[in-house]
């Protein structure tokens, strides 16, 4: 059982932070690189098993540091595909969910960045939780650590599309992405890491100003501001036109922004919506990811297949600049699909 403590949470620290900690403890700076590799490349949380560390460093880690931030509570496995949903308990007795999806040699992990969410998208199950807190970097990293250890297929892709709005936990999300990308960390290419946002414009601008190489996905989910404001209150601050404009201005060959569009029956799936969306993105060098809605116990429904096909036909016929893809979410039978993550289990001792 994890325990709350006043110990230093060293899991999630980057190399510079580890060097600083080592120096303060009287250890040579090169030990920081060794520790970094043990925690991230090897995924080791037991200092006793870090064989090339000095005994004094091992003693300090055991006495003063937290190296494991999450504890597995439950694993739910789909009966239809190689998809698993992991329920993790945090040290302060809250829960988060993470999803692992394997298809042939592709293994995608959907990472959570917050406990709950404050963006309040009306169709998203996570929004029903409200916001409890941001995850720390160690808690983000440990989701991947655990799944890497338990699933035989190597992790090929990471998507920050789980619980929470990643850009409202910007610094920690980007720090964890850097650890995932580092060759001495998880060693994943930048193009294999995708961060999804509901459209937090100041952080999108910061992402581009910092010249981040990770993929960016912006959730539009409507073809006009009236509809988007109804289902995504964030649109009242940062409307569609501003999101499309920043995607247009920063698009180039290897950095195409992805716009995501969840299809909701009777809300945003009409033929007029398809024409509006096509006009909105016309000439924008981007990807358009259409996501048929994954139903929860709420008021929204997935369009029938004919409506989906008609919507896609218009987008494809008028396609210029953007490229259309369809994401059929996996793990719907265990509520692991896009927009279905929400902790229904109360903490218990």
Domain ranges of the chain: 8-66, 70-334
pLDDT digits (tens, 9 = 90+) for 245-300: 998 888 765 567 899 999 999 999 999 999 999 999 998 889 999 999 987 667 89
CA distance 60 to 335: 42
Q: Do domains 8-66 and 70-334 have the same CATH topology?
A: no
Q: What is the tens place of the pLDDT at every residue in 208-243? A: 999 999 999 999 999 999 999 999 999 999 999 999
pTM to 2 decimal places: 0.90
Closest CA to 242 of 259, 256, 263: 259
pLDDT greater than 50 at residue 348: no
What distance in Å separates the CA atoms of residue 175 and residue 13, rounded to the nearest whole number? 8
Instruction: Exactly one of 22, 37, 44, 97 is catalytic; name it.
Output: 97
Q: Check: CB of residue 88 under 8 Å from CB of residue 97.
A: yes
Write down how long the chain is.
Answer: 349
On the question of pLDDT at 4 being above 70, the answer is no
Contact 250, 242 (CB under 8 A): no
User: Which fold does the domain 8-66 belong to in CATH?
Assistant: DNA polymerase; domain 1 (1.10.150)
CATH of 70-334, one of 3.20.20.70, 3.40.630.10, 3.30.70.100, 3.20.20.210: 3.20.20.70
Cα–Cα distance between 276 and 278 in angstroms, integer?
A: 5
Q: 72: how many CB neighbours lie within 10 A of its CB?
A: 12
Task: Based on the residue annotation, tell me whether 338 is a catalytic residue of this protein.
Answer: yes
Cα Rg of the chain, angstroms: 21
Question: Is position 110 annotated as part of the catalytic site?
Answer: no
Catalytic residue among 65, 110, 121, 338: 338
Checking if the pLDDT of 334 tops 50, the result is no
Kindly tell me if the per-residue pLDDT of 154 is higher than 50: yes
For the chain, what percent of residues have pLDDT higher than 70?
A: 91
Of the pLDDT bands very low, low, confident and very high (cuts 50, 70, 90), residue 306 is very high
C-alpha distances (whole Å) from 231 to each of 222, 223, 228, 243 are: 9, 12, 5, 16
């Amino acid at each position: 059982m994890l325990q709350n403590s006043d110990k230093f949470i060293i899991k999630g620290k980057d190399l510079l932070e580890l060097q600083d900690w080592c120096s303060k403890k009287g250890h040579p700076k090169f030990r920081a690189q060794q520790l970094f590799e043990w925690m991230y490349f090897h995924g080791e949380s037991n200092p006793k098993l870090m064989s090339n560390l000095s005994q004094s460093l091992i003693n300090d880690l055991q006495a003063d540091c937290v190296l494991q931030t999450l504890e597995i509570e439950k694993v739910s496995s789909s009966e239809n595909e190689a998809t698993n949903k992991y329920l993790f308990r945090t040290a302060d007795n809250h829960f988060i969910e993470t999803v692992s999806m394997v298809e042939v040699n592709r293994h995608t992990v959907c990472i959570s960045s917050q406990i709950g969410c404050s963006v309040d998208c009306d169709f998203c199950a996570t929004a029903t939780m409200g916001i409890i807190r941001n995850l720390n970097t160690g808690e983000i990293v440990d989701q991947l650590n655990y799944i890497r250890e338990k699933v035989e297929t190597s992790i090929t892709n990471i998507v920050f599309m789980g619980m929470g709005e990643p850009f409202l936990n910007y610094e920690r999300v980007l720090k964890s992405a850097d650890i995932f990308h580092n060759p001495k960390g998880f060693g994943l290419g930048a193009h294999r890491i995708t961060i999804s946002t509901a459209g937090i414009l100041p952080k999108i601008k910061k992402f581009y100003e910092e010249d981040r190489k990770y993929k960016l996905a912006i959730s539009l989910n409507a073809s006009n501001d009236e509809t988007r404001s109804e289902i995504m209150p964030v649109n009242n601050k940062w409307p569609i036109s501003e999101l499309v404009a920043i995607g247009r201005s920063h698009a180039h060959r290897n950095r195409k922004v992805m716009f995501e569009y969840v299809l909701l029956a009777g809300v945003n799936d009409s033929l007029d919506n398809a024409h509006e969306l096509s006009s909105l993105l016309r000439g924008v060098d981007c990807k358009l990811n259409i996501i048929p809605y994954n139903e929860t116990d709420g008021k929204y429904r997935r369009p029938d297949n004919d409506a989906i096909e008609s919507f896609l036909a218009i987008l494809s016929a008028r396609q210029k600049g953007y490229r259309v893809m369809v994401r059929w979410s996996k793990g719907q039978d265990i509520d692991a699909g896009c927009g279905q993550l929400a902790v229904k289990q109360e903490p218990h001792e």
